[in-house]
Amino acid sequence: MPATSDPAARRRLAALCAVAAASAITGLVLGAGAGGEDGPGTGGAPPSRSGEERAGAVARLPLDRAVGELVVMSFDGTRAPAYIRRRLRDGEGAGVILFAKNAPDPDTLRTLTRSLQRAAGGGAIVATDQEGGDIRSVPFAAPDPSQGVLTTPDQAARAAGDGARALRAEGINVNLAPIADVASSPASVVAGRAYGAEARAVPSLVAAAVRAHDEQGIAATAKHFPGLGAAGANTDDAPVTVGSPRQQIEQSDLPSFRAAIREDVPLMMASHALYPALDGQDIASQSDRVLEGLLRRELGFDGVVVTDSIEAQAVLARSGIAAAAVRSVEAGADLVLMTGSGSWNEIYPALLARARRDPGFAARVREAAGRVAVLKERLGLKKAG
């Protein structure tokens, strides 16, 4: 059977074409220098039906809108504030992440997600954390069991499918799950959250969960690359160093992420931990060795890289959030996940200012925006512009 008859293979081919097109066009931008970066956009051009055309449209976006495709926002309350709706309407944000504070009941959540899509013209990424068990940002929705009690692919698929179906009904299109980490001991920070199977069996559970999300039209996110199973603390709370040697990372941590990539997982979340065996200086979310070298070139991932919360203490211990966002995008991240309601005010201007003065960074922005465009197309969302 030809490779292109496989849906996952077709999606990978479309993504590669889109990124290649974006890279070619941004190469022309670099050759021309910084001038023209804020030229006219595509205006009322009809939505593209091919990944290559979509990437071309993104490459012609005004730079401020291209930067907007790289940021995921958050807010307090059960109604989208006017500033969130304006940013979505003006292309200054790719979408939002929702938490329990935004979703007290199904009717309120559905009203909220509909208003977000109206503001974005049907093009908003609406993400949440719905791992299962206690880690459910939509507390009234499936799955009830945590990943930690699931030990077979069938169980993982059933839980992930139930959760994805519930999220889709509420207007959510991206789940920041499953955890692909392998807990190395009971003291692991992900013990109870990561799948409860033996380490060698975890990749098959991750693959099953990714497939189940895809079958329900929800984009899954494998996290936290390249693995937090050996960590004893949460990067949300403190700086974390994972001292595992490279061989241990290869044998214990990476197989689950490889399995997710084989299933064409749409998103990969980058850890904020430091991995001296991979990069002795930069945390994973800010390391081109980890994101470009290991994840993209060695493992062959061509989807969207999203940071873990940019407000994590492991990030703040090194810099402010604006500098961290710039470093992450420069290293290869495509989406900056902001869990603080005021973070956009620092991060978006910093990304835009850097892109306006640095043609190389502007090219990286457009490459990232092209990948986000492919994700949106996969989800049936309307194009930026």
Confidence check: pLDDT of 383 > 80: no
Mean pLDDT of the chain: 89
Task: Tell me the C-alpha distance between 298 and 111, whole Å.
Answer: 43
- In sequence order, which residues have a C-beta less than 8 Å from that of residue 143 and are 6 or more positions away? 130, 132, 133, 136, 159, 160, 162, 163
Task: Tell me the C-alpha distance between 94 and 251, whole Å.
Answer: 35
Amino acid at 228: L
Confidence check: pLDDT of 5 > 60: no
Q: What are phi and psi of 225, to 5 degrees?
A: -65, 135
**Higher-pLDDT residue of 300, 50:** 300
Confidence check: pLDDT of 174 > 80: yes
pLDDT (0 to 100) of residue 149:
97
Q: Which two tokens stand for residue 167?
A: 């999220």
Q: Is 3.40.50.300 the CATH classification of the domain at 70-357?
A: no
Q: What is the pairing mode between strands 135-136 and 130-132?
A: antiparallel
Cα-Cα-Cα-Cα torsion 204, 205, 209, 212, nearest 10 degrees, comes to: 60
Look up tokens 């070298």; give the residue: 293
pTM for this entry: 0.88
Q: Give the 3-state secondary structure of residue 38.
A: coil
Q: Note the pLDDT tens digit of each residue in 222-275.
A: 999 999 999 999 999 999 999 999 999 999 999 999 999 999 999 999 999 999
Confidence check: pLDDT of 51 > 90: no
Render 7-35 in DSSP notation, one character per residue: HHHHHHHHHHHHHHHHHHHHHHHHHH-ST
Length of the chain (residues):
385
